[in-house]
A and B are shown apart, each in its own frame.
Chain A
Amino acid sequence: MRFTRTSKMLSVAALAALSLSACGGGSSESGTTSGTTGSTDAVIVVDGSEPQNPLIPTSTNEVGGGEILDLIFAGLVSYDADGKPQNEMAESIETEDAQNYTIKLKEGKTFSNGDPVTASSFVNAWNYGAAAKNAQLASYFFESIEGYDEASAEGSTVETMSGLTVVDDTTFTVKLSQPESDWPLRLGYSAFFPLPDSALEDPAAFGENPIGNGPYKFASEGAWQHNQQIELVPNEEYEGPQAAQNAGVTFKIYQNDTTAYQDLISDNLDVLKTIPTSDIKNFKNDLGERSIESPYAGNQTIAIPYYLPNWDGEAGKLRRQALSMAINRDEITEVIFNNGRTPAKDFTAPVLDGYDENLPGSENLEYNPDEAKKLWAEAEKLEPYDESQPLTIGYNADKGDHKTWVEAVVNNIKNNLGIEISGKPYATFKEARTEATEETLTGALRAGWQADYPSLYNFLGPIYATGAGSNDARYSNPEFDQQLTDGLAASSVEEGNEAMNKAQEQLLEDLPAIPLWYQVAQGGWSNNVDNVEFGWNGVPLYYAITGK
């Protein structure tokens, strides 16, 4: 599809290049204009990062391990390129009240070792994930299921959640503690993957050599060479929408993107999903047709805690709006990111079902320096700004290049409002996180959110609901909470989305965090591969990549 915009001249040039390379002896049928054909016997080398935890679905909370799990496991549903759920292991997921679900599995599905995928494979895995004694990092994903609180409480010895019942080999029921219409949407996330029995007998050994039911499997025992590479080959047992179109995917682990980029442009690496900041300006020149910019479900915001003086109450709200309007998002995304980001119009992301860029209140996210000055002056009348404690915008300096844009935002605000404000680098990510968790932040903190599953709620509930795990701003608004609950209880996803957007209007007025822009994946591929497409979450659809 990505060739559709190609001008005729370029296609001619590409064809010429292809016919020239064909003289070199390659007899394989190359993708020409449609880009749908290609060699399926190529092993694709892609960039990865070292999984931080054993490869057990509920132990993993970061991208490096997550993208491996997504290939070697298949959940009840998976997401297609646009984030639409499609059935994988599930035959059907049915509910009448959005609280009691009956899940039927397809017959005859197996793990790569031949074990059948049964209802217990799911129920046992989920119980393992939730039980406090296993200290699984992704345990909070099960919080909606009845009995989660008992199983996950500190020191609890309860090992099962009462809401999960196995009916027969291919059927189980789930009872949630409250109606949640978007719950089935979550089931493609890695925490909900099934596990074979052998996994729970010896999780540590399993985490080194996992056995799954997905489109790929480990090439051999020890295919995970730590900090070097992870070799995956197609799993013959797998049948489904993500069937492998290549002979394997090898994740080569890089310590930094800059190095990976050098490998990409010398064809030693086939796919790079993040172009390093230093090459953002020239990657389209270097790669031409082989580069891609693909929006995905992620955004960048600046959270301002309510426990800071000056930033609470009516004056605080005016100040937040003033700050937001003082930021020229269009200019920053263009100049600093070379249009590799899209200015934000809400708190979610455009690739999601239900996204609306014209929500009432979204004008608060538009650049309007005059209005910003006015709002700031109004706030000053209510309560003067304490110049001795100027606002800072915190960011972690160890990963991701945040300094440049933070400084740009700071300058925007300084110039338009004439107030003292500065960027505040934290040496490490954990230092910033610790202050956020312990409520000891002395200023605002940048916050990036990348969706776990394609749903508006995933961008709202975990970050802005009262007492939520990632609520760095410590925002608490009963009306907003109620709207979230209503949205979850809605009988259909459409109605739910409407309610979520209603809740967003509240956020757009209160601005617990200031949305800046939506993420766009900037990536590229080598001369050896074809059919590279990025999914809704910014991760390439590895199974669809073919050789040339």
Chain B
Amino acid sequence: MVWYIVRRFLQLIPVFLGATLLVYFLVFSLPGDATAAICGERGCTPAVVAGLREQYNLDQPFWIQYLLYLKGVLTFDLGTNFSGRPIATIIAEVFPTTAKLAIMALVIEAVFGIVFGLIAGLRKGRIFDSSVLVLSLIVIAVPIFVLGFLMQFLIGVKLQWTNPTVSGDATFTELLLPAVVLGLVSFAYVLRLTRTSIIENVNADYVRTATAKGLSRRRVVVVHVLRNSLIPVVTFLGADLGALMGGAIVTEGIFNVNGVGNTLYRAVLNGDGPMVVSIVTFLILIFCLANLLVDLLYAWLDPRIRYA
């Protein structure tokens, strides 16, 4: 087990190198000169442009730029973005907010998705099941920015239950609304996955055995049916955690959340290479870790799965 985890960690190294190289190359190949974004509509004098290019290594060929960046990463210096601020500081500023938001969204979608999915699965074909199915279909079909603006307008502006936007402190109550919006679509998927999985397992032989053994209905459902039905759900949630950490650009934009998504969006627009690469790499690492966590959860959910 320990060896398995070590091996998975070692696998992160080539993933890291490959990802940074690829992303750096993509940003490098973006059309337009990065100094043009810094200089704005008025433009700069050639001397200023030359100064900027030197400052950000833009006068170097691609390989040198990339190696200089790698050297920075290995010495724990991510460099500065085009506004002259240390990238590490920026990530440290925005990441906690996004993490808070992602975990809240994940909890909301997991708890509600699994509970609703469980009930719907056990009562297949009944009124609750059908209405939940129709509702989830609607949620999946409506684009997230429509959901976002709609909920912001109804709950934030009309009913005034909460502020329409999130302040710099990003408190729990402020983040609740964006977390619900963010979790809503995944909630529908979790619900549907759980439901299908439950329906499949409810008629399985081991469930009949458990019931025949005289176990309570509650124990049969929770320990035998649900636990075995959770594997596809956990796979989905693991992947979703990575995606949520990546910052939902749309949701963060609507609710003015100062998170990873918004930061990444701005960096891409400005062609801020080091910034984009740092954030994306950071996200890739989180994604890999979330995946590892999921794999370990498999073994716990289904004892037949063993790692060596």
Within 8 A of B (CB), among A207-263: 207, 225-229, 252-256, 258-260, 262-263
| Cβ distance B264 to chain A, nearest Cβ, rounded Å | 12
| Cβ distance B36 to chain A, nearest Cβ, rounded Å | 4
Given the contacts A52-B83, A137-B44, A433-B37, A259 and B165 also touching, CB distance less than 8 Å? yes
What is the CA–CA distance of A133 and B209 in the complex, to the nearest angstrom?
81
CB-CB < 8 A to A134: which residues of B? Answer: 51
Interface check B14, CB cutoff 8 A: no
Q: How large is the interface on B (under 10, 10 to 19, 20 to 34, 35 or more residues)?
A: 35 or more
What is the CA–CA distance of A455 and B65 in the complex, to the nearest angstrom?
43
Which of A137, A153, A469 is most buried by chain B, counting CB atoms within 10 A of its CB? A137
CB-CB < 8 A to A168: which residues of B? Answer: none
Interface check A360, CB cutoff 8 A: no
CB-CB < 8 A to A398: which residues of B? Answer: 269
Contact check, B36 vs A433: say whether CB atoms are below 8 A apart: yes
Per-residue interface assignment for chain B, residues 140 to 156, with 1 indicating a CB less than 8 Å from any chain A CB and 0 otherwise: 00000000010011001
What is the CA–CA distance of A449 and B48 in the complex, to the nearest angstrom?
21
Which of B33, B165, B255, B265 is most buried by chain A, counting CB atoms within 10 A of its CB? B165
What is the CA–CA distance of A229 and B93 in the complex, to the nearest angstrom?
13
Contact check, B263 vs A227: say whether CB atoms are below 8 A apart: yes
What is the CA–CA distance of A398 and B152 in the complex, to the nearest angstrom?
24
Contact check, B55 vs A62: say whether CB atoms are below 8 A apart: no
Given the contacts A135-B48, A259-B255, A470 and B43 also touching, CB distance less than 8 Å? yes
Per-residue interface assignment for chain A, residues 467 to 481, with 1 indicating a CB less than 8 Å from any chain B CB and 0 otherwise: 001100000000000
| Cβ distance A231 to chain B, nearest Cβ, rounded Å | 10
Interface check A415, CB cutoff 8 A: no
* Size of interface on A: residues with Cβ below 8 Å to B: 58
| Cβ distance B170 to chain A, nearest Cβ, rounded Å | 9
Which 10 A/B pairs are nearest by Cβ-Cβ distance?
A135-B51, A228-B168, A431-B32, A430-B37, A433-B36, A262-B164, A430-B32, A430-B36, A154-B47, A434-B32
What is the CA–CA distance of A154 and B33 in the complex, to the nearest angstrom?
19
| Cβ distance A286 to chain B, nearest Cβ, rounded Å | 10
Within 8 A of A (CB), among B280-294: none
Q: Which of A54, A154, A263 contacts B165 (CB 8 A)?
A: A263
Interface check A53, CB cutoff 8 A: yes
Interface check A328, CB cutoff 8 A: no
| Cβ distance B149 to chain A, nearest Cβ, rounded Å | 8
What is the CA–CA distance of A259 and B39 in the complex, to the nearest angstrom?
27
Contact check, B164 vs A268: say whether CB atoms are below 8 A apart: yes
Q: Which of B45, B253, B265 contacts A259 (CB 8 A)?
A: B253
Contact check, B83 vs A53: say whether CB atoms are below 8 A apart: yes
Contact check, B52 vs A135: say whether CB atoms are below 8 A apart: yes
Interface check A282, CB cutoff 8 A: no
Given the contacts A135-B52, A259-B256, A262-B157, A470 and B269 also touching, CB distance less than 8 Å? no
CB-CB < 8 A to B40: which residues of A? Answer: 61-62, 137, 433
Contact check, B47 vs A135: say whether CB atoms are below 8 A apart: yes
Given the contacts A137-B48, A153-B47, A156-B47, A262 and B41 also touching, CB distance less than 8 Å? no
CB-CB < 8 A to A430: which residues of B? Answer: 32-34, 36-37, 270-271
What is the CA–CA distance of A448 and B160 in the complex, to the nearest angstrom?
38
Given the contacts A137-B44, A228-B168, A256-B253, A52 and B38 also touching, CB distance less than 8 Å? yes
Per-residue interface assignment for chain B, residues 161 to 192, with 1 indicating a CB less than 8 Å from any chain A CB and 0 otherwise: 00111011000000000000000000000000
CB-CB < 8 A to A132: which residues of B? Answer: 47-48, 51
Within 8 A of B (CB), among A26-57: 50-54
| Cβ distance B283 to chain A, nearest Cβ, rounded Å | 18
| Cβ distance A172 to chain B, nearest Cβ, rounded Å | 24
Contact check, A137 vs B38: say whether CB atoms are below 8 A apart: yes
Name 11 A/B residue pairs within 8 A (Cβ), A-sorted. A54-B83, A134-B51, A135-B55, A227-B262, A258-B149, A259-B165, A259-B255, A430-B270, A433-B37, A434-B33, A470-B42
What is the CA–CA distance of A430 and B52 in the complex, to the nearest angstrom?
15
| Cβ distance A337 to chain B, nearest Cβ, rounded Å | 20
Interface check B103, CB cutoff 8 A: no
Interface check B125, CB cutoff 8 A: no
Interface check A421, CB cutoff 8 A: no
* Extra 15 A-B pairs, beta carbons < 8 Å, given A152-B47, A255-B265, A434-B31: A50-B83, A132-B47, A132-B51, A135-B47, A139-B48, A140-B44, A227-B258, A258-B149, A260-B256, A266-B160, A428-B30, A428-B269, A430-B36, A449-B41, A469-B43
Given the contacts A259-B254, A268-B164, A226 and B37 also touching, CB distance less than 8 Å? no
Interface check B214, CB cutoff 8 A: no
Interface check B303, CB cutoff 8 A: no
Contact check, A154 vs B253: say whether CB atoms are below 8 A apart: no
Contact check, B156 vs A262: say whether CB atoms are below 8 A apart: yes
What is the CA–CA distance of A462 and B55 in the complex, to the nearest angstrom?
27
Contact check, A255 vs B262: say whether CB atoms are below 8 A apart: yes
Within 8 A of A (CB), among B243-299: 252-256, 258, 262-263, 265-266, 269-271
Per-residue interface assignment for chain A, residues 384 to 415, with 1 indicating a CB less than 8 Å from any chain B CB and 0 otherwise: 00000000000000100000000000000000
Contact check, A268 vs B165: say whether CB atoms are below 8 A apart: yes
Within 8 A of A (CB), among B50-74: 50-52, 55
| Cβ distance A273 to chain B, nearest Cβ, rounded Å | 16
CB-CB < 8 A to B160: which residues of A? Answer: 266
